[in-house]
Amino acid sequence: MPPLYSFAVLTVSDTSASSGPSTDTSGPHIRRTLESHPSDSFRCSVHAIVPDDEGEIRGKVEEWIDEMGVDLVVTTGGTGFGVRDTTPEAIQPLITRPTPALTHALTAHSLSKTPLAALSRSISGIRTRGGKGGSGSGSGSLIVTLPGSKKAVSECLEVLLENGVLLHALELCTGKGSGKETHRQLQGGQHDRHAHAHAHAHGTETDTGGARSHHHHHHHGGGGHHPPRPRTTQAQRDAAASRFLTPHDASSPHSLALRARQSPYPIIELDDALRLIATQAPEASAVVELPVNPELVGHIIAEDVRAPSDLPPAATSNVDGYAVRAGETGEEEYEVVIPGRTKQLAHGSQVCRVNTGQALPAGTDSVVMVEDTTLISTHELEDGRVEESRVQVLAQVDKGENVRAAGSDVKQDQVVLRANTPITSLGGEVGTLAFLGLQKVKVWKKPRVAVLSTGEELRDIHAQSSKMEGSSSANASGWSHSSYDTNRPSLLTSLNALGYPTLDLGIVRDDPPSALLEAMRRGLAEADVLITTGGTSMGESDWIKPLLERSEGLLAQGEGEQGRAQVHFGRVSMKPGKPTTFATIAGGEGRRKKVIFALPGNPASALVCFYVFVLPALRKMAGLVPREHEAQGVQEEGKGQQVPNPWSLPMVRVRLAHEFACDGSRPEFHRVHIAAASEQRGGSALLPSAAESGSSLSLPVLTATSTGKQRSSGMHSMSGANGFVFVPSTKQLAGAGMGEGVKKLEKGTEMWGMLLGGLEI
């Protein structure tokens, strides 16, 4: 495995230090860029913001290196010609071994972008560790000072990360690696680099994760992940398998020895799998009436919502002011009548004070704004408060001015919210229901989802370790080890955040399979959807698929074929998630069809497959109605460019922030962070003045940055991800006419991205 390097980021800025971290864009950008590097070699230990003070800058860096022992310190800001720019002066005394060539490389690259780079005074160097954080005699930490501009920081990071320069520097100065392998690769020439990228572009069909899938810098040091690959040919495996006819049968004493060595399930294309889910998942059928409150979020309105009365019910004021009779009120003095003490004006020399939204007294038809009056006199009330007596009206108003007429917002029986409207977390729909005065609303009932994890090796994070370790003879003998159950907590978190009711079935042991069968029966009896993770591949205790197909009475009330699941697919050509299984059980008369998703056991695979496969089914079952042209794609399968599953999460065009490698045979859902960046462009027809003046516009562009190593066993690849980028296989690229030799997507390529959450602006 390659060494892991700790780094710290110091933002030097008077503005950010006083205004808070929201104004700091360069510091978080450095952290994201390094932590998402495909080598998975960088971990941020600390990130701080200090003002442009020489002592504070030096003190922080000295503390991080000498006491915390970080391997790399990157500062941003304070390197210019300004009076307060003192970062180089603060850092210079800390450097024991200058690195002028590295500084020159950064400056030269920046000068190729803009001549203003000549105004940067950035420095770099190594500080020999003298504190308790040192990792050995003579070991050092690298310090690099970068400009404060996010654009300039990006340009400098390109230099540091290109061809493994930064990794090689850290190997040498920290002593964590020999540096020989990286040095050899750096000197290996273009042929070696192409061969290395080619080797990482191909995976195996097993769901053990992908190779490092972008930015193939040469810093793996022999520790890169190579997916397992069978050494026999398909013909050899078919010939050997023909001697064994026994399926993987839970009731057979010979089931382990004679279990199938090849999966009986054909691999289907991703689009076909999505279409099967779209057609086989049942539609919403039950309507419930729920109170109007924030818990409505995520529900779909089941029938048109009509206004029970006119709104406003009577004429009301649009402003704070004085209700008057327009035809009788001129620019004169008037007696002020207090609201609540009169229902109408007694004579034309009176005006009634009103607030915004307050009903007008009878006999008035317009409102004079407070700004159009002057106070003439006041009087004191019994409680000591001073009240207006007379005001001067300074402007004539027309009839109906500053007034909301009765029913001008909503008429009685008017449809305000249409059936099938989603209730979002933005507040508009719940606010509208409250605006109408409704206490309850009819919505489609959401499906309940049962979740279980399978595996002898799994351990609940909240269980006592001693108890768990004693539950398995394998663990007790030291033959194997326990793994924390990751899938169930992550899936339940996602489901709860989306508002779906859940049933936690816990961890279910593989042996005996009867325990797993009983847990599945409970889940199907008490929920509409069952999600299992693990037990879907070719292991000795992978019982999920055999139990689905061969166990009668999965439904408590089912008999014979009625209680047996129909497996619609058992393998999908995608990465990660190849062993994903989708099945349904006919509910029979008066009972709803049950849906089962058996997801892979690898944590990242399970969560990716939840968003790609499970969530579209849940959205359909919850009553979501897709747009008409998308729904037509399911009904008219095969006609033109159709959407495989209109209930899938929305796809957006994203620009790749770096290279993404392609798998040889399977498309990949690459975990990414999607952010909105600004791009300067010329004038737009939408803004003629800008176009005429020749000024530029800052337009948003969505960019996608990998979360790092994409191995399916590494749940941390989902941390920080708010989307997936759909990376086609090399086979798909060749079929699309892009050539046989295309192994990667270049930086700047526009691809489809699936949004899972909000965008960072």
**223 in a domain, yes or no?**
no
Count other Cβ atoms within 10 Å, centred on residue 354: 24
pLDDT at residue 391 in the model = 96
Mean pLDDT across the stretch 594-600?
Answer: 95
CA angle 334, 338, 340 (to 5 degrees): 145
- For residue 196, is pLDDT > 50? no
In this predicted structure, what is the pLDDT of residue 206? 41
* 27 and 146 part of one domain: yes
CATH number of the domain that 657 lies in?
Answer: 2.40.340.10
DSSP secondary structure code for residue 759 in this structure: P
Q: Smallest Cα–Cα separation from 398: which of 472, 341, 327?
A: 327
Please name the amino acid found at residue 147.
Answer: P
- Token digits of residue 269: 């294309």
Residue 13: closest CA among 1, 5, 3, 21:
21
**How high is the pLDDT of residue 561?**
47
Using alpha carbons, list the distances in angstroms from residue 11 to 30, 35, 61, 166, 281: 10, 17, 11, 20, 51
What is d(CA 25, CA 31) in angstroms, rounded to the nearest whole number? 10
* Statement to judge: residues 36 and 54 lie in one domain: yes
Distance CA 57, CA 62 (A): 9
Q: Tens digits of per-residue pLDDT, 21-34?
A: 878 889 999 999 99
What is the mean predicted confidence (pLDDT) over 189-204? Answer: 38
- pLDDT for residue 191: 41
- φ, ψ of residue 750 in degrees (nearest 5): -95, 125
Which has more pLDDT, 564 or 635?
A: 564
Residues 325 and 431 in one domain: no
Strands 97-98 and 124-128 turn out to be antiparallel
Residue 202 identity (one-letter amino acid): H
At residue 26, the pLDDT reads 92
- Lookup: tokens for 656: 């790749």
CATH of the domain at 393: 2.170.190.11
Same domain, 418 and 276: no
Contact partners, residue 306, CB within 8 Å, separation at least 6: 413, 414, 415, 416
- 704 pLDDT band, cuts 50/70/90, is very high
Task: Kindly report the CATH number assigned to the domain that includes residue 590.
Answer: 3.40.980.10
Q: Are residues 366 and 459 in the same domain?
A: no
Q: How distant, in Å, are the alpha carbons of 35, 355, 662, 686 from that of 659?
A: 16, 60, 10, 34
What whole-number percentage of the chain has pLDDT above 70?
A: 76
- pLDDT band with cut points at 50, 70 and 90 for residue 617: very high
Q: What is the pLDDT of residue 552?
A: 61
pLDDT score for 638: 38
Q: d(Cα 493, Cα 673) in Å, to the nearest integer?
A: 19
pLDDT at 182: 54
Strongest mean pLDDT among 66-70, 339-343, 439-443, 484-488: 439-443
Pair (35, 105) in one structural domain: yes
Q: Which residues pair with 336 in a beta bridge?
A: 351
Looking at per-residue pLDDT, the higher value among 183 and 13 belongs to 13
Amino acid at 742: V
Same domain membership, residue 453 and residue 439: no
Which residue's entry shows tokens 């509208």? Answer: 432
Asked whether residue 220 is assigned to any structural domain, the reply reads no
* More confident of the two residues 116 and 95: 95
Q: How many domains does the chain have?
A: 6
Containing domain of residue 608, as a range?
267-283+446-629
Residue 195 falls inside a structural domain = no
Structure tokens that stand for 729 in this block: 């296989």
pLDDT, greater one: 90 or 545: 90
Query: Phi, psi (5° rounding) for residue 261?
Result: -95, -10
With a cut of 70, say whether residue 736 has pLDDT above it.
Answer: yes
Residues 43 and 135 in one domain: yes
In a domain, 250, yes or no: yes
* Residue 481 predicted with pLDDT over 70: no
Of the three residues 420, 444, 468, the one that is the final residue of a domain is 444
98 vs 142: CA distance, rounded Å: 10
Dihedrals phi, psi of 142, to nearest 5 degrees: -90, 135
Residues 120 and 182 in one domain: yes
Structural domain ending residue among the three candidates 418, 444, 470: 444
The pLDDT of residue 694 is above 70: no
Yes or no: say if 33 and 155 are a contact pair by the CB < 8 Å rule: no
| Rounded distance between C-alpha atoms, residue 187 and residue 183, angstroms | 6
- List residues bridging with 704 in a β-sheet: 656, 674
- 602-611: pLDDT as tens digits: 888 999 999 9
- Spell out a b/e string for 387-413, using b for 16 or more CB atoms within 10 Å of the CB, else e: ebebbebeeebeeebbbbeebeebeee
Judge if 170 and 73 occupy the same domain.
yes
The reply to whether 624 and 480 lie within a common domain is: yes
More confident residue, 642 or 57: 57
Percent of the chain with pLDDT over 90: 53
**Least confident piece of the model among 295-309, 386-400, 555-569, 641-655:** 555-569
The helices-and-strands tally (H runs, E runs) of the chain is 22, 35
CATH number of the domain enclosing 421 = 3.90.105.10
Specify the residue for token string 């654009």.
Answer: 151
627-641 pLDDT per residue, tens: 764 554 444 443 334
Stretch 59-81: mean pLDDT, rounded?
93
pLDDT at residue 238, rounded to an integer = 45
| Mean pLDDT of all residues in 260-282 | 88
The three-class DSSP label of residue 244 is coil
Residue 488 lies in a domain: yes
**Helix 165-174 crosses helix 100-113 at what angle (to 10 degrees)?**
160
- The residue-averaged pLDDT of 409-413 equals 96
Sign of CA dihedral 225, 228, 233, 235: negative
What is the C-alpha to C-alpha distance for residues 645 and 274, in angstroms, rounded to an integer? 5
> In whole angstroms, what is the distance from residue 751 CA to residue 654 CA?
6
- Give the pLDDT of residue 677: 79
Sign of CA dihedral 601, 607, 613, 619: positive
Amino acid at 324: V
Asked whether residue 85 is domain-assigned, the answer is yes
Residue of 522, 556, 519 lying closest to 535 (CA atoms): 519
Q: What number is the average pLDDT over the span 678-694?
A: 50
| pLDDT (tens digit per residue) in 281-315 | 999 989 999 999 999 999 999 999 999 999 999 99
Closest Cα to residue 74, out of 30, 35, 23, 29?
30
pLDDT the model gives residue 441: 98
Question: Would you tell me the crossing angle of helices 165-174 and 150-161 to the nearest 10 degrees?
Answer: 70
pLDDT at 759: 76
Which of 563 and 371 is assigned the larger pLDDT? 371
Residue with tokens 């327009």: 326
- Can you tell me the distance from the alpha carbon of 582 to that of 545, in angstroms, rounded to the nearest whole number? 10
Q: Which residues pair with 745 in a beta bridge?
A: 660
| pLDDT score of 647 | 95
Q: Tell me, what DSSP letter sits at residue 363? A: T
Does 610 lie in the same domain as 665?
A: no
Residue 28 · residue 677 · CB < 8 Å: no
Predicted TM-score (pTM) of the model is 0.63
Residue 760 in domain = no
What is the rounded average pLDDT of the residues 53-59? 94
Specify if 42 maps to a domain.
yes
One-letter amino acid for residue 96 of the chain: T
Mean per-residue pLDDT over the chain, rounded:
81
Q: What is the reported pLDDT for 588?
A: 67
| pLDDT value of position 179 | 55
Identify the pLDDT of residue 75: 97
Structure tokens at 145: 């000072």
